[in-house]
Structure 1
């Protein structure tokens, strides 16, 4: 018991130290001058919709579609807070693989994108929720709402349910017949140039990269394997020392690669701008996020979003809509699947048990540590 009390006391002291540093840094945020305009217009004013997509697309063909999706998402997140980052990850990974066409969900005799390494830790509960939404919609309006649209609308609703902005999304996508490689996704250690290049390949820019790739990390956790090079064998000098010590405690010695830490250490299941405040105080968990400081425009955006949550929300929703329109299938292209895991004309095999075992769940150490931080605040 003495050892447990000692560890608990140490964790409280570390938490208190980090909170003090973060609060002090937040008071000093006014020293940072924004290098980027915060006069973001609404998404409807910024973005031209792709042919075949429209806001309120199902108003006549399935008028309750978005209500059904929203209600099921809210209920699911109330029971499992990790579903929100799970949906956001599904959205990202699907859209980066040839386009937003629900190819990620195909799990049949021809294989699955879920077997690809970048998708290894996608949450089973988030996948199950999409299947549940599809089943509910099929009972209401058969073969009308695509799985691709469910991914987009459900992810949008999960953002709102966790404290983020509420916004309309264009719908009307159709589902792919085929799976694709997910090798186009930037990795956890990617340089800024590599990340930007991959975003530019899908017609997204620096503002989209910072808002979506780094801003999206306001939700969820990462396995220690994703950031272990920043804490072992040596600590990255850009990491806050107390933060690094806390990460070492979470990951263990030797490092347990499957242990997890919150991407936004202080509020990993709340959609807010704290992730950017963390960056300014040495609290970027992933190397890819830390690398935002190697580009003046990107770092200017980090400073802007750290000071102004409204600016972050406006840019995020605009960038989200842009990403949701990467190579959509519409009109007579693709299909409307009856079951999201298989094409209507394909044979069916159940999802292998080893496809999504690495779920994004916080470790007991991290859960207690986050509670202590919250209590201190």
Structure 2
């Protein structure tokens, strides 16, 4: 009888198995979130609620995945991916930030601790990544990974940098494709060498650019010229997914080289400007400059309107650095009075990155 009682005590004293399948899904503790997002590449609005965009699922009895927004751009959401683990008999979790392979023709294979527009399929354990090179999504990179029981193994990775609306993402060139399913996480398939490609022509779009996203801005620097200088620009958009280019308006702040002055241009895709009328530009509701027709230049395209006087450009840039939004008001060729607002969130960081990367 004593032996029976001892056995029963031992049974009831054994901790319950920590089966995630039996525990409701929940986000990581706040200190884990804060640690993951303590990264200079993470930019989120001050009032942004991370948990509203958090995603996660249970991968197996001992493992969960958490996807946390790190940066919101015009058409990309950059996320951190965290794996939560528990052993069979414990109730304490460990949290590990994940890194993934990334590929570009400029740098080859590199490692990244973020994914773009990430999605986890809770039924299959497949993790997807889709980084748009521009709003219409006709260039960029896409990848997929499968949970093996210990880590995510890459299934396929595609990259297309030329931006061509006629080529859908599922037809982009494959730079890696798994040939068979790995038996375990410790025995991955060999990497397939990326196919040989023709040398890119950096004199035409997209100019072999280096790109970064800072909140609402895409900042890009073209490849260095012979003298080491680079054309760089910070761009933000008024998006329209139904438009051929994916947007209706574009604001660009650019410089030809590091020591060149900044230039501001406003691009209207559809509603062309009546060049006989003035244009006003306001920051946070306050008019900063009024441009007369002769002060609006179109040196590159008839719908690409530059602020002509450098003094007014400098005045605008100073106000933009401290502002939250900028508004262009003009009259179209059809006689409509139009007001076009842009967010300035991320501009200051974009200008700093441009300055650092503009070459000589």
TM-score under structure 2 length normalisation? 0.26
TM-score by length of 1: 0.25
Highest RCO, 1 vs 2 (Cα 8 Å, sep ≥ 6)? 1
Judging by fraction of residues, say which structure has more strand: 2
